[in-house]
Structure 1
Amino acid sequence: MSRTRPRLFAAAAGTAAALLLTACGGSGTAAGGPWKPSKPIEYVAPANTGGGWDTLARSTARILEEDDLVDRPMRVVNKPGAGGAIGWAYVANHAKDPHKLFVTSPPILLVPMAGESDHSHRDFTPIARLMSEPLAYVVKNNSPIKDFGDLADRLKADPKKVSVAGGSGPGSLDHVGLAGAVQAAGADPSKVKYVPFDGGGEAITGLLGGHVDVAVAGASEAQGLSKSGDVRVLAVSSGERVKTLPDAPTLVESGVDYEFDVWRGVMGPAGLTDEQVAYYEKAFAEMVKQDSWKKERDRFGWTDAWMNSGEFGEFLNDQEKELGEILSSVGLKKK
C-alpha cells in the first residue's frame, strides 16, 4: 500500500496614481517612502474562537504588535461558516484593500473543489506560509474505541454506527484527513458518517457533548483536553510523534500507511501591490525569528514551514492538483 503524503502577485503603483490614492485614503505608496498601513488591519479568522485558525490569528497578531513588527493594530475578527468560505468570501469582497488579511490552510483549496465555495485560492494574494501541524483523531476518554485500528475495524463492519466530527465542511481539511486515513486502513471513506462543525474546537465540544463518537482536529486543538484527560488521542497524522501529544501514536505506528500535514498561512485580497505584499511578507518573516513566536510554536506543537509570497503561491497551485487527486479517489471532488 503506497503512502499518501500531500505536500501540503500585482504590479507596483505608478507614482502619480499612488500619491492620489494615498491622499484619498487608498492603497498606494506614501510620498515619504515604502507603503505602510494607514489604519488598523482587519485580520480574519474564518472560524469560531478556539480553533486552529483563531489560535494562529490571535497568536501572530499579538506577536506582530508586541514586537513592533507592524505599524498599526491587528484586529482579529471571527467570521465562521461554510468551512471557512464565509470568512474568505468577506475578504474577496474587499479587493485591493491592504488592510484586510486572513489566516488560511488546506480548506482554501478543498472547499472550492468540493463545490462549497465560489472563491478559489486564485482570488486572493498569498502573503506567507508559516507553520504546519498534524491532525489528531480523538475520542472521549471513556470511549470503547481503543485505538485507530479499532476505529477502522468498526467502520469496516458497520460505518453507520460510528459518527465522526470535523472542524471543516464535507470534502474539506478534516474530512480529507479522515478519508485518506480510513481508506489507507482498508475501510470505505465514502460510507463514513461525517459531521461538520465550524472549527476543530467546536468539533471536540460536540464529541464531549456526546453528539459524535470521534473527532478530527488539529493536534494543537486537542492537546489541552488530552492533558486534562477529557479526550484520548487515537493517533496523529504526522510521520513522527508530536512533542505536545507524546503518548499518541502516529497512524504509521498504528499500522496505517498514511501521513497528512496541515499547513497554515496568511493571505490578503486580490489586487495588492508589490509594496503592500512586501510589507506584510517582511513583517511575518521577522515574526518567525522572534523568541516569542518560537515559544508559541513550541507550546502548540507547530512546525516552522516558512514560505514567502511567491513560494506560497506556487505551493498552492501544486497542492491543488495533489489534493484534487485525493478528493477524486474518495468520491468527494465535485469540480
Structure 2
Amino acid sequence: MTATFTARGLTAIVLPLAALTGLAGAAPADDWTPTRSIEFIAPANPGGGWDTLVRTVSRVIQEEGLAERSFGAINVPGGGGAVAWAQIARDTGNPHKLFATSPPIILVPLAGTSRYDHTDFTPVARLITDYSIILVKADSPYEDLNELFEAIAENPSLSIGGGSAPGSMDHISMAGVAAAAGLDAASVNYIPFSGGGEAMTNLMGGHVAAVITGAGEASGQLGEGSGLRPLGVSSPERLGGVLADIPTYQEQGIDYTFDIWRGVMGTPDMPEEAVAYYEALFAEMLETDGWEAARDQLGWINAYQNSEEFGDFLDEQKEQFSTILGDLGLLGG
C-alpha cells in the first residue's frame, strides 16, 4: 500500500460540518424527567476530549438553569474507553446514565480491543466537531510540521504520543497526516496514553517528541509561558480564540483535514421518553450564550444531530473506518 493511497483513504473520513440540523425542530419532552442526578461519564482520565466535553456540558446546563437535576462528571479510564463501555453496557435501561463519545466508539471495537461497539448503546445526540492539533515542547527543534515529518523520515523511532488507543482516533489522525506528508502511515511510532492529559504530561517530561490531541482540550494549556509550541491543526481553516494563530496542515503544504465529532450516548435500551428529554435538553443548550462562549473558547463547531440522525451517522462511520483500519493493517479479527 502506498502512502498516496493511504492518505486518500484516510481523508475519506473527513466529516461534513453539519450545521444545526433539526435544532429548531427539537420539541420539549414532557413525558419524562430525571428523578435523580445524572451520571455523566468520561471514559478516560481527566484532561482529555471526553472529559472536556462532559465538564463543559455539565457546567453550561447548570449555569443556564436548563435542568432540575445535576449532571455529575465521572471519569472511568482504561482500554481507550473499553472499561467504561463494559460498565455502562451492564446498566441496561438506566435513564440516568450518559457518556461522552467520539470516533473511538467505532475505532476501538474495530481494532478488536472492545467487545462493545456503538450498536450496544443508545445514541442520544451529536453535539460538536473538534479538530486534531500537533504539539511539541517550546524548546523543540521542530518549528513546523514539515520539520517534524522530515525528522521522523530520518529517524522512524521518534515517538508521537496520543490520548487514545492504538488504531483509535489520535492514532488514525496522526497516520493520516503523516501519509499525506509522504511517510508510511503504518510506520509512525505512535505511543498511546490513557487520555490527552497523560499524553501532555509525557510530552513535557521529554518522553515523546510530539503529541497529537484534540484542539479543544489543548486550548486551555496554550498561550505565553505554556511551554508548548503548536505546529498545526487539522481544520480546513484557522480556528478562533487562543488557536487563531496556529496554521492548518494545508497552509503548510499537507493536504489533509481531520474532524473529531463528539456527542452523547446512553445505556442499552434507554427508554424513548428519556432519549427525547435529553435530545431537547442538548438542543436547547446549544442555543445558550453560555454554550456559545465555551464553544468559541475551545474552538468547537456546533454539529447537532438528534438520536436517529446520530445513529445513522455512526453506522456510516463504521463502514468508513473499517476500510481505513484495513488499509493500515489494524483491523481486529
1:316 to 302, 306, 314: 314
Q: What is the Cα deviation at residue 157 of structure 1?
A: 2.1
The equivalences for 1:35-50 within 5 A come to 35-50=32-47
The equivalences for 1:235-250 within 5 A come to 235-243=232-240, 244-250=242-248
State the aligned residue count: 310
2:119 to 104, 122, 125: 122
The equivalences for 1:148-159 within 5 A come to 148-159=145-156
C-alpha contact (below 8 Å) 1:165/1:216 kept by paired residues: yes
Secondary structure (helix, strand or coil) at the match of 1:63 reads: helix
Q: What is the Cα deviation at residue 205 of structure 1?
A: 1.2
Secondary structure (helix, strand or coil) at the match of 1:253 reads: helix
Give 2:21's aligned residue: none
C-alpha contact (below 8 Å) 2:14/2:257 kept by paired residues: no
Which deviates the most, 81-90 or 166-175? 81-90
CA distance in 2, matches of 1:7, 1:256: 15
CA distance in 1, matches of 2:288, 2:57: 11
Structure 2 unpaired stretches of 5+? 16-29
Q: What is the Cα deviation at residue 71 of structure 1?
A: 2.9
Which deviates the most, 197-206 or 127-136? 197-206
CA distance in 1, matches of 2:53, 2:220: 16
Give 1:208's aligned residue: 204
User: Which amino acid letter does the alignment assign opposite residue 220 of structure 1?
Assistant: G
Q: Does 1:298 align with 2:296?
A: yes
Q: Does 1:166 align with 2:162?
A: yes
User: Which amino acid letter does the alignment assign opposite residue 182 of structure 1?
Assistant: A
The equivalences for 1:144-293 within 5 A come to 144-160=141-157, 162-228=158-224, 229-243=226-240, 244-293=242-291
CA distance in 2, matches of 1:306, 1:274: 19
Q: Does 1:6 align with 2:2?
A: no
Secondary structure (helix, strand or coil) at the match of 1:131 reads: strand
Give 1:54's aligned residue: 51
Secondary structure (helix, strand or coil) at the match of 2:314 reads: helix
Bigger Rg, structure 1 or 2: 1
User: Which amino acid letter does the alignment assign opposite residue 34 of structure 2?
Assistant: P
CA distance in 1, matches of 2:82, 2:201: 22
CA distance in 1, matches of 2:317, 2:117: 13
User: Which amino acid letter does the alignment assign opposite residue 210 of structure 1?
Assistant: G
Q: TM-score, normalised by structure 2?
A: 0.90
Which deviates the most, 182-191 or 282-291? 182-191
CA distance in 1, matches of 2:236, 2:277: 35
CA distance in 1, matches of 2:275, 2:304: 15
Which deviates the most, 45-54 or 166-175? 45-54
Q: What is the Cα deviation at residue 121 of structure 1?
A: 0.3
Q: What is the Cα deviation at residue 7 of structure 1?
A: 4.1
Secondary structure (helix, strand or coil) at the match of 2:61 reads: helix
State the structure with bigger RCO (CA 8 A, min sep 6), 1 or 2.
Answer: 2
Secondary structure (helix, strand or coil) at the match of 1:225 reads: coil
Q: Does 1:83 align with 2:80?
A: yes
Which deviates the most, 58-67 or 312-321? 58-67
C-alpha contact (below 8 Å) 2:124/2:310 kept by paired residues: yes
User: Which amino acid letter does the alignment assign opposite residue 209 of structure 1?
Assistant: G
Identity of aligned residues (%): 48
Give 1:19's aligned residue: none
Q: What is the Cα deviation at residue 68 of structure 1?
A: 2.8
Q: What is the Cα deviation at residue 5 of structure 1?
A: 4.2
Moved over 4 A (4+): none
User: Which amino acid letter does the alignment assign opposite residue 315 of structure 1?
Assistant: F
C-alpha contact (below 8 Å) 1:80/1:198 kept by paired residues: yes
Q: What is the Cα deviation at residue 91 of structure 1?
A: 1.0
C-alpha contact (below 8 Å) 1:180/1:326 kept by paired residues: no
Note the alpha carbon deviations across 1:213-239, whole angstroms, 9 max, x for none.
110011122223331341111111111
2:101 to 104, 113, 118: 104
User: Which amino acid letter does the alignment assign opposite residue 80 of structure 2?
Assistant: G
RMSD: 1.4
CA distance in 1, matches of 2:308, 2:297: 29
